[in-house]
Chain A
Amino acid sequence: MTKPHLLLLGEIVHAKAEWEALSDVAILSVCDSSSKEDLIKDLAGKYSDITAVYHMNDSKAAGVIDKDIIDALPPSLKFICHNGAGYDMINVNACTEKGILMSNTPGTVDDATADVNMFLILGALREFNLSMTTLRDGNWNKGVPLSHDPEGKVLGILGMGGIGRAVKRRAEGFGMITQYYNRKPLSDEMAAGAKYVSFDELLATSDVISLNLPLNAHTRHIINKEAFAKMKDGVVIVNTARGAVIDEQELVDALESGKVRCAGLDVFEAEPKIHPGLIANEKVILLPHVGTRTYETQKKMEIQVIENVRSAITEAKLLTIVPEHVHLV
C-alpha cells in the first residue's frame, strides 16, 4: 500500500530533519504551484491524492486558504495542519462543511508572543518611543514628559488563552494586577489569581488593556468607538493578537483626543499597511508583527505542525485541533 501523500504549502526553515523524517510514514511533496489558479489545477492533477497539508501563511499559492481552494481540495484531503496560532486566513466553516479538520500551533507561540506583549506594555506605559527617536535624532530627552509605572496598575486581558496567561505571569513581576475577560471563566488553578470580569467591567476598570483573543466574526472590531467610550481616560492599549480586533481609525481618534494615552501594537488592521495616524504619533510603540520571530520559537512551531501531521497520517487524529472542530471528533 502506498504511503499517504502530504503536501507542504510554504517552507520549512528550521525543522528540516524532522520534516524529512516524515518520509517514513508519508510521501512528501513541496508545493511548486506558482499561483492560486495553478494550485487549483494541480489539486486535480498531481496533488489529487493528498491526505494532509502543512500550511504556512507565506505560501505563494495558498497563503490564504479561501473557499475556492477548499472547494478544489480532493476528497482524500482530511487534514490541514497550520503553522501559527491564528488561522483567520483559513475559511474554517468551509473546512467544517467539507469534513476537513484543522490544527494550529497553540502553546508553542505563547512565550515569544507574551514577551513582545510585555515589551509593548512597558513601552506604551512608559512612553519610550519618543525618547528613543529623539535620542537618535540628537535631541537627548527633548520634549519627553514623565510617564507612569506599571506597579499597582490594573491589566485587563481580553482573551485568557495560553498567551494571555503567559502575559499575566510576566506582568506580575512588574507589580501589575491582572483581570481578564474570556469566552468562559477559567478554573481557579488556570486563572492563577486573575479576576474574571465581564467585558464591560474590563473596559471600565483597566488601566492597560491587552488584546489576546483570536480574530473571527465575533471579535472583528470588538474594540470600536463604543468600547473606547467605556474605557478609563488615559487608558493604554496593547495588541499582539490580530489588527482587525481593533477599529484602527477609532484608535487613532482616541489617541488624538487623549482618551487613549498611548498604545503598543504588533499587528495592524491592513498590515503591512499602517494607518498614517499611527505613524504620525511619536508616542505609540509599533512593531511589524514580530510575535514569534525567534529561532527557538519558529523551530518549536514547525515541529508542532510536523507532529500534528504525523499523528494525522498514522492515527487519523490531530494533537492540537482548532476549537471550532473539537466537537467534530
Chain B
Amino acid sequence: MTKPRVLLLGEILHAKAEWVALSDVATLSVCDSSTKEEFIKDLAGKYSDVTAVYHCHMDDAKPGANINKELLEALPTSLKFICHHGAGYDMIDVNACTRKGVLVSNTPGAVDGATADVNMFLILGALREFNLAMTNLRKGDWNVGVPLSHDPEGKVLGILGMGGIGRALKRRAKGFGMITQYHNRKPLSEEMAAGAKYVSFDELLATSDVISMNLPLNAHTRHIINKEAIAKMKDGVIIVNTARGPVIDEQALVDALESGKVRCAGLDVFEAEPKIHPGLIANEKVILLPHVGTATYETRKKMEITVINNIRSAITGAKLLNVVPEQIHFAP
C-alpha cells in the first residue's frame, strides 16, 4: 500500500532531519506551484491524493497562504489534516474546514517563551519610554527631551487572554514587581492562574495600568480594543500587543496616543502589517517591532518539530496532537 502523501506549503528551515524522517510513514512533497491558479490545478493533479498539509505562515501572495473557502473547495477529498506552523491561525477559515471534515492543528506551547519575552521587552520599553532615549542617543542627542518615566513595580498588568503566552508573560512580569489580573474566555483553575486575579473585561480595562493583548484573532476579537474600550481605560494607560494587529483599532490607538489617554504603547503586530499607521511611526515614544515574536533559532525549530509531530500523529493515528480549540469536540 502506498504511503500517504504530505504536502509542505512553505519551507522547513531548522528541523530538516525531522521532516525527512517522516518519509518512513509518508511520501513527502514540497509544493512548487508558482501561482494560486497553478496550485488549484495541481491540487486536482499531482497533489490530488494529499492526506495532510504542513502549512506555513506565508506572504499573502504565496499559493496556499490563505486557506479560505475557495481554496478548500479545491482541496482533494483525501485531505483530512492541516497542520499549521504558528500559534495564530487566523489565515485559515476554521469553520469552513470543519464543514469539510478537515481538522486543523497549530503550535501552542512552542511559541510561549519567545513571544512572552518580546511582550515583556515591550512592556518595559513602553512603561519606561525607552524609544525616544534610544533614537536621540544615536542621533547624538544624549538624553535630550527624555522625561522621567515610571517603574513597573506595583503596577497592575491586565492580561487579555490567559493562554500559554499570557501565563508565560505573568511569570516574567512577577520578577518586575507587577501585579497581574486577567480576562479570559473562561476563568482558569487556581493552579493555572498561579495567583492572577480573574476580572471581567470592563474591570480589566478600568483598573489596569498596563494592558497586554494575548488573545487570538477571530470574529469576536477583531477590534476588541476600540474607541469605546479605550474610553473605559485609566488615563495614561500603557498598551502592548504581541497577538494580532486587528485586535486593536489602530486609528483609535493613534488618536488615544495623541490625546495622552494612552501614555505609551509597545507593538509587535499591526492591523495591516507590514504597513504601519503613519501616526505610530510619527510617535517617537512608542516602541515598535516587526512581528518578531518567535524569531529565534531555538523557538522556530521547536515549532517546526511540533508541526512534524502533529503530522506524524495524523498519518499514523488519524489524530492531531494540537487540534485548534474550535475543533476539539470534532476530533477523535
Q: Is B truly associated with A?
A: yes
A contact residues vs B (CB 8 Å cutoff): 111-112, 115-116, 118-119, 122-123, 126, 128-129, 131-136, 140-141, 144, 146-151, 169-175, 271-272, 274, 279, 285-290, 293-298
Residue interface bits B39-54, CB-to-A below 8 A is 1, else 0 = 0000000000000000
A-B contacts, 11 listed (Cβ < 8 Å): A129-B134, A135-B276, A135-B288, A135-B290, A136-B135, A141-B292, A144-B290, A147-B297, A272-B142, A294-B148, A294-B151
B contact residues vs A (CB 8 Å cutoff): 113-114, 117-118, 120-121, 124-125, 128, 130-131, 133-138, 142-143, 146, 148-153, 171-177, 273-274, 276, 281, 287-292, 295-300
Given A148-B296, A149-B296: A173 and B134 within 8 A (CB)? no
Contacts of A171 in B (CB 8 A): 175
Given A128-B292, A146-B297: A294 and B128 within 8 A (CB)? yes
Contacts of B297 in A (CB 8 A): 146-148
Given A149-B113, A173-B175: A289 and B143 within 8 A (CB)? yes
* Shortest CB distance B59–A (Å): 11
Q: Which of B172, B173, B176, B290 contacts A140 (CB 8 A)?
A: B290
Contacts of B135 in A (CB 8 A): 136
Q: Are A298 and B148 in contact (CB under 8 A)?
A: yes
Q: Are A148 and B290 in contact (CB under 8 A)?
A: no
Cα–Cα distance between A272 and B290 once the two chains are bound (Å): 30
Q: Are B124 and A118 in contact (CB under 8 A)?
A: yes
Contacts of B121 in A (CB 8 A): 119, 122-123, 126, 128
Contacts of A140 in B (CB 8 A): 273-274, 290
How many residue-residue contacts, CB under 8 A, span A and B?
137
Q: Are B125 and A119 in contact (CB under 8 A)?
A: yes
Contacts of A129 in B (CB 8 A): 134
Q: Which chain B residue has the least Cβ–Cβ distance from A279?
A: B138
Q: Are A170 and B281 in contact (CB under 8 A)?
A: no
Q: Are B289 and A132 in contact (CB under 8 A)?
A: yes
Q: Which of B124, B149, B273, B298 contacts A148 (CB 8 A)?
A: B298
Q: Are A128 and B128 in contact (CB under 8 A)?
A: no
Given A147-B296, A287-B130, A288-B142: A115 and B117 within 8 A (CB)? no
Q: Which of B150, B276, B287, B296 contacts A295 (CB 8 A)?
A: B150
Q: Are A141 and B274 in contact (CB under 8 A)?
A: yes
Q: Which of B124, B276, B290 contacts A134 (CB 8 A)?
A: B290
Contacts of A288 in B (CB 8 A): 133, 136-137, 142-143, 146
Q: Which of A119, A131, A169 contacts B128 (CB 8 A)?
A: A119
Q: Are A287 and B137 in contact (CB under 8 A)?
A: yes
Cα–Cα distance between A293 and B143 once the two chains are bound (Å): 11
* Shortest CB distance A46–B (Å): 32
Q: Are A111 and B292 in contact (CB under 8 A)?
A: no
Q: Are A111 and B148 in contact (CB under 8 A)?
A: no
Q: Are A126 and B296 in contact (CB under 8 A)?
A: yes
Q: A149-B298, A149-B299 are in contact. List 12 more A-B contacts (CB 8 A).
A: A115-B128, A116-B128, A126-B117, A128-B292, A144-B292, A147-B296, A173-B120, A271-B142, A288-B143, A290-B128, A293-B148, A294-B128
Contacts of A126 in B (CB 8 A): 117-118, 121, 292, 295-296
* Shortest CB distance A217–B (Å): 27
* Shortest CB distance A262–B (Å): 13
Contacts of B124 in A (CB 8 A): 115, 118-119
Q: Which of A131, A173, A279, A297 contacts B289 (CB 8 A)?
A: A131
Given A126-B117, A135-B276: A290 and B298 within 8 A (CB)? no
Q: Which of B114, B152, B288 contacts A132 (CB 8 A)?
A: B288
Q: Are B137 and A274 in contact (CB under 8 A)?
A: yes
* Shortest CB distance B58–A (Å): 14
Cα–Cα distance between A150 and B298 once the two chains are bound (Å): 10
Q: Which chain B residue has the least Cβ–Cβ distance from A265?
A: B137
Cα–Cα distance between A133 and B288 once the two chains are bound (Å): 9
Cα–Cα distance between A144 and B290 once the two chains are bound (Å): 10
Q: Which chain B residue has the least Cβ–Cβ distance from A287?
A: B133
* Shortest CB distance A286–B (Å): 5
Q: Are B171 and A173 in contact (CB under 8 A)?
A: yes
